[in-house]
């Protein structure tokens, strides 16, 4: 199958960060502001709950964009409603810096999904216009922190699949005016979603 080079931003995963200015974060200050985050994401950002994302090691720019979007209602996360209301811009920047400074634990792929997941991740599906994930996230899933493309390697497969499903039906829309994630995810069937999510979980950056 011919590889597709069209941008594919996951999401956990992705949104346009053009012309958005954020405060500079302080990881040490952020450590004292994340106590409430631990119940869902783990004290060091390594969630033990597969439906909740690992934040440890994630790109600071991407993390801050998601925090701002959730706080402002541009990204709807029911469990996060009200959780960020007490934080100002500097607080959010410090929280993002703290989690970005942590070391992510790894997950693993289910063997039965590896072949299909690898094909979608590396080559996409040309006929159905499903783009390869490598365009933004790289062969190892490390993302591009300066560009705001998220780290996805080692993320919980359940969380990745959940986000793809939400993008596919328009429940998650903070992928920008380009609709990159929505336009790709809506073309994926359930097996492709499960396979690529599992394959990503087993990647090592």
Domains of the chain plus CATH, in order, are 27-100 (1.10.760.10), 111-201 (1.10.760.10)
What residues have CB less than 8 Å from 99, skipping those under 6 apart? 30, 34, 41, 45, 55, 56, 57, 58, 63
Cα separation, 34 vs 170, whole angstroms:
30
Overall pTM surpassing 0.85 (yes/no): yes
Provide the pLDDT for residue 205. Answer: 75
Express each pLDDT in 24-66 by its tens digit: 999 999 999 999 999 999 999 999 999 999 999 999 999 999 9
Coil, helix or strand at residue 144 = strand
Express each pLDDT in 170-192 by its tens digit: 999 999 998 989 999 999 999 99
């Amino acid at each position: 199958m011919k590889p597709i080079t069209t941008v594919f931003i996951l999401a956990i995963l992705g949104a346009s960060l053009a012309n958005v200015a954020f405060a500079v974060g302080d990881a040490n200050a952020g450590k004292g502001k994340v106590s409430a985050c631990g119940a869902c994401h783990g004290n060091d950002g390594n969630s033990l709950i597969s439906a909740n994302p690992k934040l440890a090691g994630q790109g600071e720019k991407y993390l801050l964009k998601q925090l701002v979007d959730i706080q402002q209602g541009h990204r709807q996360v029911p469990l996060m409603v009200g959780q960020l209301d007490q934080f100002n811009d500097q607080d959010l920047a410090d929280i993002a810096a703290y989690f970005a400074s942590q070391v992510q634990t790894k997950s693993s792929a289910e063997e039965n999904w590896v072949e299909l997941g690898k094909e979608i991740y590396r080559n996409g599906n040309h006929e159905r216009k499903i783009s390869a994930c490598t365009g933004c996230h790289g062969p190892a899933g490390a993302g591009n922190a300066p560009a705001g493309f998220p780290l996805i390697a080692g993320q919980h497969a359940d969380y990745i699949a959940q986000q793809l499903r939400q993008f596919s039906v328009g429940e998650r829309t903070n992928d920008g005016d380009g609709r990159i994630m929505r336009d790709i995810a809506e073309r994926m069937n359930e097996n492709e979603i499960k396979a690529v999510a599992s394959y990503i979980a087993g990647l090592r950056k």
